[in-house]
Amino acid sequence: DWNSGNVIAEQVAKIQAQVGSGRVICGLSGGVDSAVAAALVHRAVGDQLVCIFVDHGLLRKDEREQVEQDYVASTGVRLVTVDAREQFLNALAGVSDPEQKRKIIGREFIRTFEQAEAALVAEAEADGEPIRFLVQGTLYPDVVESGGGTGTANIKSHHNVGGLPEDLQFELVEPLRTLFKDEVRAIGRELGLPEVIVGRQPFPGPGLGIRIVGEVTADRLQILRDADAIAREELTRAGLDGEIWQCPVVLLADVRSVGVQGDGRTYGHPIVLRPVSSEDAMTADWTRLPYDVLSKISNRITNEVREVNRVVLDVTSKPPGTIEWE
Ligand code: XMP
C-alpha cells in the first residue's frame, strides 16, 4: 500500500540514476507541485540543483517570503529570486482586456525566466559543469490529459504561466509523474515543507493580475492583496479550507459605489468573494459559507482596507460562470 516514505526513497534513487553528477535547474511558482518536485530533486542531488523564482508583483501577501524564507529554510535549496515587479507593471500599464493581460503576463514571465536561466547556464558553463536537466512538477493527471509520452512541459500552456516554455536544451526530470495531488501533498509534508505551501489552494499563474477587473496598478494590487489576505485568514481560522476548492477575491477596480463610514460619505470599490466547491475545476458550485464567517470577512475588509466600502458574494455556479472573473 501507498507510503510517502517509500515513494520518496524510490524517486530519490531514480533521480540520482538519471542525473548523476549533472547540474539541474527548476522554476518555482510558489505552488505545491514545483515546490515538492524541487525538494525531491534537492534531497537526491543537493546543490547540483538551483531554483529560480520570479516575483512578478502579482503574488498574494507573504508568498515571496514563504518561498524565500520558509521553503528555503526547510529544504536548503539554492534559490535565485528575480524581482520583476516594475517590469510587469510597466508592461501591463493601460491594459484592461483580460486576454491581453494574460498574454502580456505570460510573455513577460517567459522572458524573465529565460534571462535568469541564461545567467545560470553561463555561470555553470564557466565552472565546467553545464546545466543539463530541467525539473517539472508534472502530475499523473497532466500526463494522462496529454496522452502520455514525455516532454509534457507545454500541456497546460494557456493555464500555466507558472510553468515553463518547452526547453529542448534540457532533459526533463519529472519526479511527480506517477502521482496525484493529494499524494504530492503527503510527500511534501513528509519532506518537511511548510504547510502554507503544501496546503495551498489552486492559484492562477497570472495571479492577482486577472483578479483586478480593470487596469492593473501598484495601488490596486495593494488593495486586493490586503483584502485577499483577510479572506484567507478568516476562512482558515474557521476551518473551512478543506471544504473550499479555492476562493478568488476580486477587485472591481472600475466600479465605485456610495457608502457611509463614521460621519462621512465614502465612494469606494467593491470586493467580490468567489468561494467555490469543486472536484477538478471543470465544474464548480458556489460554497454555502456560514453567514457569520461571511460577516466577519466583510466587516474586516471594509474596516481594514480603506478603499473598499462594499463586499459582495458571487453565487454563480460553473457553468455558466467561470471560477475566475477574467
Ligand atoms: P476558470 O476561471 O477557467 O478556472 O473556471 C479554472 C481553474 O483554473 C485556474 N486558472 C488558471 N491557472 N493559469 C493557471 O495556472 C491561468 O491562466 C488560469 N486561469 C484560471 C483557476 O484558478 C481555477 O482553479
The cell for 15 is 533521480
Cα(278)–Cα(175) distance, integer angstroms: 26
- Cα 264 off chain centre by: 39
Give SS3 for 321.
Answer: coil
Q: Which atom of ligand 1 is nearest to the CA of 106?
A: 17
What is the SS3 assignment for 177?
A: coil
ipTM over cut 0.95: yes
d(CA 234, CA 249): 13
Query: In the chain, what are the domains?
Result: 4-198 (3.40.50.620), 211-313 (3.30.300.10)
Is 33 annotated for ligand binding? yes
Spacing, Cα 159 to ligand 1 middle (Å): 6
Strand pairing report for 285-286 and 308-313: unpaired
Compute the distance from residue 2 Cα to the ligand 1 centre, in Å: 30
Listed in sequence order, the residues at least 6 apart from 306 whose beta carbon sits closer than 8 Å to its beta carbon are 268
pTM: 0.92
Ligand 1: centre distance to CA 324 (Å): 7
3-state SS, residue 92 = helix
User: Is the CB of 159 within 6 Å of ligand 1?
Assistant: yes
Q: What are phi and psi of 302, to 5 degrees?
A: -70, -25
One digit per residue, the tens of pLDDT, for the chain of length 326 reads 789 999 999 999 999 999 999 999 999 999 999 999 999 999 999 999 999 999 999 999 999 999 999 999 999 999 999 999 999 999 999 999 999 999 999 999 999 999 999 999 999 999 999 999 999 999 998 888 776 654 433 333 444 444 455 566 899 999 999 999 999 999 999 999 999 999 999 999 999 999 999 999 999 999 999 999 999 999 999 999 989 999 999 999 999 999 999 889 999 999 999 999 999 999 999 999 999 999 999 999 999 999 999 999 999 999 999 999 99
CB neighbour list of residue 88: distance below 8 Å, 6 or more residues apart? 56, 57, 58, 105, 108, 209
Task: Give the three cell numbers for residue 303.
Answer: 474596516
Q: In what order do the strands lie in the sheet with 131-135?
A: 78-83, 49-55, 23-28, 131-135, 171-173
What number does the ligand 1 atom closest to the CA of 246 have? 24
Question: Residue 268: helix, strand or coil by DSSP?
Answer: strand
